[in-house]
Structure 1
Amino acid sequence: GVWLHLSEAIFQLSMMFWIHRDPAGDMSSSVLIYYTAVMGIQRGSLAYYSAYNSTPKLAALMWFGRLLFLEYALPVYTYDTLAFPWPCRTSYPSQPDRLDLICEGTIM
């Protein structure tokens, strides 16, 4: 239904943020890099948080990213509502090879 289409589209958009590669190799063009930089700024003073206070937020973001990458690399089911459907994990002959291929060269 509509919710399935919306959730799959949001998932696809999220993965586009995670796998974005600037053709020139400029990491600062990544939405996630900007987001993590903004996450490190204190609202009141506009100063950066200390590393001690930023670590839990960054760890949560990395954990969430790993879960997204796992679903992206080896989907539980086929994503049929997307413009470019993604096959489910059983369609890949070697799941470890597929995971290595997807994670190669990413920030994960």
Structure 2
Amino acid sequence: MFKIKIYTVIYLSILVPVLLSAAALNKYTAPIQSVSSTQSKKTVNESVYVDFQQQVHDYSPKKKEKMKTYYRKKLKDAIRIKNLDAATHYERLLGILN
């Protein structure tokens, strides 16, 4: 029984300083980085929208509806991931299709 008490005291005498020194290092840990990243401004040339408008002018209403559905989905995805440039682009394409 005495031997167990000695081992316990030795174990605690080793463990306590280690735990105390680890607690002092908490203030030096790196801060958590934010999830959102900075987005580079990628603007679409105005001629892309003019060409798109000319191209879809002759499409059938059924094909236009398919494209609207596709671009609505892309718009929702862009908003979900907070990509405002892409959201603006898809919103503009939807405006042309309407």
TM-score under structure 1 length normalisation: 0.28
